[in-house]
Every structure is written in C-alpha cells, then in structure tokens.
Amino acid sequence: MGPTPRSTVQRLPERGRYDAPTIHAILDEAYICTVAFVVEGSPIAIPTIHARIDDTLYLHGSNVSRMLSTLAGGVECCVTATVLDGLVLARSVFHSSMNYRSVVLFGRAQPVTDRDEKVRAMRAVTEHVLPGRWDEVRQPNAKEIAGTQIVSITIDDASAKIRTGAPVDEEGDLVLDIWSGVVPLTLMPGAPIADRPELETPGSVRAVTTTPRGH
C-alpha cells in the first residue's frame, strides 16, 4: 500500500501518514465514515457505518439503498473517517485548531455476493460498533442476509492526517498573558438504557462503558 498523488496529503504534509497500521487504527476507532461519490457529475456524500477486515473496508445497508446500489456499480468513491481528539486553543485566532486523526481513502466498491463473505462482513460491522456483540445477539437469518447489501473497498490508495499536541503560537505571542492549551475530547459512553433492566448487562456493554473506545 502506498499513496498515489491524489491520496498524498497536500496541506501541512508533515501531518500525513501512509502506513497501514495507522490508517487501520483510525478506521477501526471511528464509528462512522462519510462516503462520497459522483452522480451525473455532481458530488454526493453520505455518512454511514463501516467495518474493516484486514485491508478491506465494508459498507452495508438495505438492498434498496441508493448509495449502495450506486457504489456496487463500481463507480469511484472517496471515504473519509475522522476521530476528534481535542480543541487546540492558541493565544491567537490564527493558530487555533483541533487535534484529530483522519483517513481519506480512494477506491471503487465491489458488491459482496458470496453468502459467507456477506456474513463475515455483517459480523465485522456488528463488532465494529460494539466488540463482543455478535455472539450475544440473534444472528441474521436467510431473509435478513438477502435483504442486506454489502460492498467492499480495498484499502490501498489511502492516507491518514494527524494533529496532536499543544498549540503552536507565534514567537511574539508567547509573552501575552493569554491562556493557551488543549481541551481533550473523548466520545464517552454513558450509562446504558436497558429495555429490560432485569437482564444482566452483557460483557460488550460493560466493556465499552468501562473503557471508552480508543482509551
């Protein structure tokens, strides 16, 4: 895997990363991605849940999803996923920013028609949203598998862009008595709202509410 000109980070290239472990970790941590594609010359972008197995990204949805049917036709797409890590509060407006980890991935989707691969992808999506959940719930039946459309995109033409750490102020601003620093951000799970509180909270839910994703 290596970046092509289109996946090479242009602005602030020192923030660009191209290694698979970095790209995969961001895709795994981000709950959702945004999928962009072109219809009759115009851009369309839609947020959706994704999942990854090795170097394959899966998107799923209903058999009647316009987005998935379009993607399954093999058109080019661009998938982005972003994790926000903090507010970067400089002494000046100009150097204020955010800490983030993002991925931009270019490719063409392929329809997943093999039943076993479909089920593996459905499992990956379930486990992406909440690790351990697949084994706790009712598995998809034949009708549900048939009603689910899945496409795969190979993760090879991709880049990550990452900003971490403190604000970088102008030398001349450092003497100003203006508070600067970072406010970390975490996508924090709250107390579960159970449909039947008498049932024991399952391991998957206990795990995510104890340790927020990425921590």
99 is a contact residue toward a copy of itself (CB under 8 A): no
Q: How many residues bind a copy of itself (CB under 8 A)?
A: 90
How far does CA 201 lie from the centroid of its chain?
26
Amino acid identity, residue 174?
L
> Which one of residues 24, 50, 52, 91 is an interface residue with a copy of itself (CB under 8 A)?
91
> Which one of residues 21, 171, 200, 210 is an interface residue with a copy of itself (CB under 8 A)?
200
> Which one of residues 20, 25, 36, 53 is an interface residue with a copy of itself (CB under 8 A)?
36
Pairing of strands 97-108, 32-39: unpaired
184 is a contact residue toward a copy of itself (CB under 8 A): yes
24 is a contact residue toward a copy of itself (CB under 8 A): no
> Which one of residues 18, 56, 89, 110 is an interface residue with a copy of itself (CB under 8 A)?
89
47 is a contact residue toward a copy of itself (CB under 8 A): yes
**Long-range pairs for 90-95: beta carbons < 8 A, 24 or more residues apart:** 90/167, 90/168, 90/169, 90/173, 90/180, 91/167, 91/169, 91/170, 91/173, 91/174, 91/176, 91/178, 91/180, 92/169, 92/170, 92/173, 94/170, 95/167, 95/168, 95/169, 95/170, 95/173
116 is a contact residue toward a copy of itself (CB under 8 A): no
Interface with a copy of itself in residues 49-78 (CB under 8 A): 49, 61-62, 64-67, 76-78
